[in-house]
């Protein structure tokens, strides 16, 4: 009789996963795939309607989902939420934003928004998630969603690149510190993903072609491709992987 195949190593049965920014885009896709792998998923974002839609999609696929409206920049509310859903086995730090603007045109407000959500909130959310895992004796996983722009530079993305490079550094430092306590920390760094937001930005063929021209595989990533990479990092299949960044970038940063 054959032993369980490699696919069993990707299962997440009996685990609770919380995904921030889960109402749309890659956050929603990650939540869906974690649920398909067997996890009970807590969906977090600021807009309840989008969360309800995401939960319905998960439940239609046979998964289990809880909806919790929360602004991750509200540290007190986030701490209360994490206490409510504990013990947590997987925490996906996905909420983030971008404000493309030339370097000399970046305003104080732009900078505060990007630093507040992409860095400060991710730091404090990861800190709270790790503290909860340690308190409950959980050998958990924290996954920070960064970007290929956390590894390279790009015009009109100075502030965004700064925050994503910072999040990559945070990932490494968290991983080294938490490894002896059994918590793994990694990041996933996608290229441009074919989402409704990107389709609105790249509505003109010339804009879309210019983005795709930088990707050696010749296309944008799909939401599911990013989500499946996230499932791997959150699963036992990646038990020896910590402190690393998985680039789902079609070869962008290899150039």
- Give the residue numbers marked as catalytic: 160, 164
Helix spans in the chain (H): 25-36, 48-60, 75-85, 108-114, 122-135, 158-178, 196-201, 205-213, 223-234
Q: Which structure tokens are listed for 26?
A: 């890659």
- Are 166 and 159 in contact by the 8 Å Cβ rule? The answer is no
The CA R_g of the chain, rounded to the nearest whole Å, is: 18
> Phi, psi (5° rounding) for residue 183?
-105, 125
CA max distance for the chain: 66
DSSP 195: -
DSSP assignments along 17-66, one per residue: EEEETTTSHHHHHHHHHHHHTT-EEEEEES-HHHHHHHHHHHHHTT-EEE
Give the three-state DSSP class for 190: strand
DSSP 106: -
């Amino acid at each position: 009789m054959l032993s369980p195949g490699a696919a069993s190593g990707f299962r997440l049965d009996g685990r609770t996963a919380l995904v921030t920014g889960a109402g749309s885009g890659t956050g929603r896709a990650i939540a869906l795939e974690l649920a398909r792998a067997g996890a009970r998923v807590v969906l977090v974002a600021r807009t309840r309607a989008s969360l309800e839609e995401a939960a319905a999609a998960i439940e239609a696929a046979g998964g289990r989902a809880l909806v919790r409206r929360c602004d991750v920049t509200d540290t007190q509310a986030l701490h209360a939420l994490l206490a409510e859903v504990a013990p947590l086995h997987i925490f996906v730090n996905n909420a983030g934003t971008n404000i493309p603007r030339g370097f000399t045109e970046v305003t104080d407000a732009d900078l505060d928004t990007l630093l507040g959500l992409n860095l400060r909130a991710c730091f404090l959310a990861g800190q709270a998630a790790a503290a909860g895992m340690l308190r409950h004796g959980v050998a958990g996983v924290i996954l920070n969603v960064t970007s290929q722009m956390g590894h390279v530079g790009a015009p009109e993305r100075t502030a965004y690149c700064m925050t994503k490079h910072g999040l990559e550094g945070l990932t490494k430092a968290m991983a080294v510190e938490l490894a002896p306590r059994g918590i793994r920390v990694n990041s996933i760094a996608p290229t441009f993903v074919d989402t409704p937001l990107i389709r609105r930005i790249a509505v003109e063929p010339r804009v879309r072609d210019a983005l795709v021209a930088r990707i050696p595989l010749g296309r944008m990533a799909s939401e599911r491709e990013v989500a499946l990479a996230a499932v791997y990092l959150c699963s036992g299949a990646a038990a020896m992987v910590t402190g690393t960044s998985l680039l789902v970038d079609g070869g962008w940063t290899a150039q």
